[in-house]
Amino acid sequence: MNDFAAYVFYVNRSDLIRRAVGSFTDLLKDMTVVDNSVIPDFLPHTRPVFRPPVPLSYTQSMNWMLADATRRGKDFIIHFHSDATSTNPDAVSQLLDYARRMKAEGRRWGCLWTFYDILWAINPVAMNDIGGWDTNFAAYFSDNDIKRRLNLAEWETIDTNIRGMSHEGSATLKSDRRLEFLNGQTFPLYQQYYYAKWGGGPGEERFSIPFNNPICLPQK
């Protein structure tokens, strides 16, 4: 049995996700596409596809991914963006080797970045410990929130320095005028929520527990 499961989320631009999947062929042995498109138009051939009853937000998709990998007893989750690409054919094997080494050494690691979260490894134990992704964020600021919560819970977030990744930034939004407009309206709301939750912006947080209120800590 593979010790990892890989996931990629899809909304639009089937050309980009096909390229992304083709960049990380080492993940094909256990890769699931979470299809959040309104009109399904991506046929991944032999890849398993999960189509939720309604499109999920990014953070909802991440929590589904976490629950699925946990249910299947996976040691590691590999997640990559649908607009990612790689010129490093060894990126996935290097990332998995890094994760396996962390486990063998007994390190408390939460996630391993490459080009930030364009391609990254996730420790399901750590993510379940902090309660998963905060779905009050649709997408933006959820990465800052995860890093903050992992670090406060003494789980390491590590830059692996694995190189070769790139992506077409915000391709999903730029390919849909409606999504781009809605993001422009809601981005300040998520920013304000982050400030309220942590008492400051990314890198300027003042609270060590969400909203400086113990009632908001994850329930164990």
Please tell me the predicted confidence (pLDDT) of residue 115.
Answer: 86
pLDDT reading at 173 higher than 70:
no
The dihedral through the CA atoms of 101, 103, 109, 111 has a sign that is positive
The average pLDDT across 170-183 equals 71
pLDDT per position as a tens digit, 112-155: 999 888 999 999 999 999 999 999 999 889 999 999 999 999 99
Please tell me the predicted confidence (pLDDT) of residue 32.
Answer: 94
pLDDT per position as a tens digit, 20-36: 888 898 998 899 999 99
Tell me the percentage of the chain whose pLDDT exceeds 70: 91
d(CA 212, CA 23): 43
The strand pairing partners of 120, in sequence order, are 79, 113
d(CA 121, CA 99): 7
pLDDT reading at 83 higher than 80:
yes
C-alpha distance across the termini of the chain, in Å:
30
Phi first, then psi: give them for residue 169, nearest 5 degrees: -55, 130
d(CA 101, CA 179): 40
The pTM assigned to this predicted structure is 0.90
pLDDT per position as a tens digit, 32-71: 999 998 876 666 555 688 999 999 999 999 999 999 999 9
Please tell me the predicted confidence (pLDDT) of residue 172.
Answer: 67
